Amino acid sequence: MTKEVITRFAPSPTGHLHLGGARTALFAWLFSKSNKGKCLLRIEDTDKERSKEEYTNSILDSFSWMGIEFDEKPVYQSKNISLHLKAIEKLIEEEHAYYCNCSQDRLDELRKNQQKAGEKPKYDGKCRNLNLKKSDFSVVRFKNPKEGSVSFNDLVRGKITISNNELDDLIILRSDGSPTYNLSVVVDDINMGITHVIRGDDHINNTPRQINICKALGGEEVIFGHVPMILGDDGKRMSKRHGAISVVDYKSMGILSGALLNYLVRLGWSLGDKEVFNLDELINQFSEGKINSAPSSFSMEKLTWFNKEHLDLLEEDQLLKLLSDNISYLSTDSYSKRVIGLVRDRCNTLLDFQSETYYFFKDYKSIDNELTEKFFKPENIEILSYLKGELVESSFSSKDISEAIEKTMDQFSIGMGKVGQPFRLAVTGQMGSPSIDKTAELLGKEKVLERLEKVTSS
């Protein structure tokens, strides 16, 4: 029987879940699901200064918003410190690690000289064979093998080989008694039974070191996959400079979780030309696709396109429920349903629904001064007053409203724009709306006449 696939996502809770992290997590999650395995979450909260509970909660919320469930309760790395310390003791006992007393001054000097000589800075192994005892200021270093090389078959990048003489004896226990990242990660991965580590390629330099530590601890071989970065639209590594970088930012911009998830996965994974996938399709088809080894660029325009595609796939009732949960004045009644049906084509995000439906439910606040000056000149007011007179008599179907507009055009020998635009502005308070006859019909005779009256009498 082949071993169950167990992957993990291991964020440090020093910020909200950013897009790159979310995408890495999705790949790890989809990889395990498509192999009928498990995906675990480990919160790497050992940096007391920078880790915040608020960020842990935000990371958990972002996943639950995206519909990503991990298979077990999160593991908190800070609770495993005694296991990390035990592993360090074992490494010392078995001569895979040693105490090092080198002072910071010596290490600084060493680095300076190596840099001067054009060499890559690394520890020279002074204490490696001195068999030193623990002291107040000693650290513990891992005895990296001196000979041979480390090879691994990366799921994304293929075979990678690093010679051991490029790796120095890294510190695994600081002088303050705290274990370091490379040690803790390996111990936790072993204890959690992780079979596949899928993570960002910013960690690729750590992998050969971690493989050596894992071997020394007697852990089973792990398969790695390093996922490339997400770049901003300027081709540079995505950072705060590019604006929104966290999953929560996109949620507040009215992006659907399914659309964000779909786009993040497609950004670096492909299956033919197919673009739009729901979560089940991704799970079922993930292993047939290919993860790109080159970095991909994030585009807000493309995300908006995905969002529109996902919005279009929602059934009327699903959309209504989603919107009424998010926009206070909307409900699931038939008026809301008709309004949403009318504006739906015009909306790319959930926020668009807010601006597109507002005037159907509330009186708009005021009209922009520039627009008032441009569209409500005395000649426009005369036209609108005439139109109002026509509408007062009408039974207010969209057909009646169209006829009233046409009659007004004939009366003043003017085109549609001269009637339609001021009419739309008076009725909706804005320049864009669905066709004005349908908009006015749905808004109702009373409201439309009231708003026309307000504009024509002021």
Q: How far is the CB of 300 from ligand GLU (least distance, A)?
A: 25
Q: Which residues contact 337 (CB under 8 A, 6 or more apart)?
A: 316, 320
Identify which of residues 44 and 169 has a Cβ nearer to ligand GLU in the complex: 44
Q: How far is the CB of 213 from ligand GLU (least distance, A)?
A: 12
Identify which of residues 10 and 211 has a Cβ nearer to ligand GLU in the complex: 10
Q: Applying CB under 6 A, what is the total number of residues that bind ligand GLU?
A: 7
Q: How far is the CB of 208 from ligand GLU (least distance, A)?
A: 13
C-alpha span between 377 and 427 (Å, rounded): 16
Q: How far is the CB of 296 from ligand GLU (least distance, A)?
A: 19
Using left for φ > 0, alpha for ψ between -120 and 50, and beta otherwise, residue 142 falls in beta
Identify which of residues 40 and 440 has a Cβ nearer to ligand GLU in the complex: 40
**Interface pick for ligand GLU out of 143, 199, 209, 226 (rule CB under 6 A):** 199
**Looking only at residues 304 through 333 of this chain, which bind ligand GLU when binding is defined by CB under 6 A?**
none
Q: How far is the CB of 229 from ligand GLU (least distance, A)?
A: 12
Identify which of residues 101 and 206 has a Cβ nearer to ligand GLU in the complex: 206
**Looking only at residues 6 through 35 of this chain, which bind ligand GLU when binding is defined by CB under 6 A?**
10-12
**Looking only at residues 41 through 100 of this chain, which bind ligand GLU when binding is defined by CB under 6 A?**
44
C-alpha span between 335 and 340 (Å, rounded): 9
Identify which of residues 40 and 256 has a Cβ nearer to ligand GLU in the complex: 40
Q: Which residues contact 348 (CB under 8 A, 6 or more apart)?
A: 304, 307, 308, 311
Label the pairing between strands 149-154 and 139-142: unpaired
**Comparing C-alpha atoms, which of 449, 2, 18 is closest to residue 264?**
18
Q: How far is the CB of 240 from ligand GLU (least distance, A)?
A: 17
Identify which of residues 156 and 452 has a Cβ nearer to ligand GLU in the complex: 156
Contacting range for ligand GLU; rule: CB under 6 A; set: 4-12, 213-221, 330-338, 410-418:
4-12
Identify which of residues 183 and 425 has a Cβ nearer to ligand GLU in the complex: 183
> Is 410 exposed, middle or buried, given 0-12, 13-18 or 19+ CB atoms closer than 10 A?
exposed
C-alpha span between 357 and 380 (Å, rounded): 26
C-beta of residue 176 within 8 angstroms of C-beta of residue 209:
no
C-alpha span between 234 and 237 (Å, rounded): 9
Inter-residue long-range contacts of 449-452, CB under 8 Å, 24+ positions, other chains counted: 449/388, 449/391, 449/392, 451/363, 451/426, 451/427, 452/384, 452/387, 452/388, 452/391, 452/423, 452/426, 452/427
Q: How far is the CB of 204 from ligand GLU (least distance, A)?
A: 11
Question: Tell me, what amino acid is at 225?
Answer: G
Q: Which two structure tokens, joined as six digits, stand for 189?
A: 């991965």
**Interface pick for ligand GLU out of 25, 185, 320, 401 (rule CB under 6 A):** 185
The pattern of x and - marking residues 140 through 179 that bind ligand GLU according to CB under 6 A reads ----------------------------------------
Identify which of residues 11 and 258 has a Cβ nearer to ligand GLU in the complex: 11
Which residues of the shown chain bind ligand GLU in the complex (CB under 6 A)? 10-12, 44, 185, 199, 203
